[in-house]
Amino acid sequence: MEEQLLRDTAATLQKTFGPPPSTAIVLGSGLGLVSALAADAKAVPYGELGLPTTGIVGHAGALIVGEHAGRRVAFLSGRVHHYEGRAPEELVRAVRAVALWGARRFVLTNAVGGIHPDLRIGELVLVEDHINLTGANPLRGPNLNTDGARPRFPDLNNLYDAQLRAEAAEAARGLGLRLHSGVYAAMAGPSYETPAEIRMLQVMGAKVVGMSLVHEAIALRHLGVPLIGVSMVSNLAAGLTEEPPNHEDVTRAVALAAGDLRALLGACVGSWS
């Protein structure tokens, strides 16, 4: 039963790592280097913690817990995806377990394709809202009731917490980083979008497109945990360039630009209690 599995996993996290982190950060494709923020870190593979493992290139599949600026922080280095054929509850089991362990806030990161003409490869985009076109929702099925009644129909207004977004934007200004803000569109994948689909997303108001993040965001809202999303533009979307996207180029571009994300997250974690 999913509820008992989550309780057991949260207990395993407590036993393995001790007190929960104040902030948990999910690292997307190629962003594992960001976990270097954590000092005196302990890393344990997902499989040893009872969490779903991933075989996608650029996703290490480990939970890393350490300290940064006097704050306890956890990095979920890698995630599982809808396009792997996983059940919706598997997509969010890791963030749910870490939330039940006691993490007070989450930062969800991922690599995305840039739709808006102002975006350049390597730039960061703060997610202000999303469009879920994956056809999957982690709340389908029996309503999760892990630690008290949870809403059957949770409100997704201010899903990406306005206060946390404002604080992230302020941190970016202090660092001199160009931080965009916009709507994120999630597609099922694993194929990249067609030029026609990108034109559709532009009409819908999306600024970036990817294949993750939204399921975790919905599950965390259901648990009442505040979160933000930060996307890194790893490629320009189909139809906007003559260069076809591929996963190797995506992870390479993200790794080269991960320093800006590391600086931003470090500043945010240091300012959050």
Annotation says 271 is catalytic: no
CA distance 79 to 29: 9
Catalytic residue among 2, 67, 84, 170: 84
Q: Is 206 a catalytic residue?
A: no
What is the rounded distance in angstroms from the CA atom of residue 273 to the CA atom of residue 26? 19
215 part of the active site: no
Q: Which of 215, 235, 263, 267 is catalytic?
A: 235
For the chain, helix, strand, coil in percent to 5 are: 35, 25, 35
Task: Output the six-digit token pair for 170.
Answer: 């302020």
Chain position carrying tokens 């505040």: 226
Annotated catalytic residue within 60, 103, 171, 211: 211
User: Catalytic: which of 24, 62, 81, 257?
Assistant: 81
Phi/psi-derived region of residue 158, left when phi > 0, alpha when psi is between -120 and 50, beta in every other case: left
Q: Out of 29, 110, 231, 234, which one is annotated catalytic?
A: 29
Q: Is 160 an annotated catalytic residue?
A: no
* Cα four-point dihedral sign 183, 118, 111, 181: negative
- Give the integer Cα–Cα distance in Å for 157 and 144: 20
Q: Catalytic site residue 143?
A: no
Give the Cα separation of 153 and 189 in Å (integer): 26
Which position among 24, 74, 111, 263 bears the catalytic label? 111
d(CA 97, CA 184) in angstroms, rounded, equals 25
2, 3, 83, 116: the active-site residue: 83
Task: Specify the DSSP element, H or E, that contains 236.
Answer: strand 227-236
- For residues 103 and 140, give the distance between their C-alpha atoms in angstroms, rounded to a whole number: 24
CA proximity to 91, closest of 21, 158, 26, 10: 26
Q: Which of 35, 110, 212, 231 is catalytic?
A: 212
CB distance 250 to 111 below 8 Å:
yes
| 246 in catalytic set | no
The single residue of 35, 46, 59, 219 carrying the catalytic annotation is 59
Q: Which of 116, 136, 247, 255 is catalytic?
A: 247
- Active-site annotation, residues: 29, 59, 81, 83-84, 111, 211-212, 235, 247
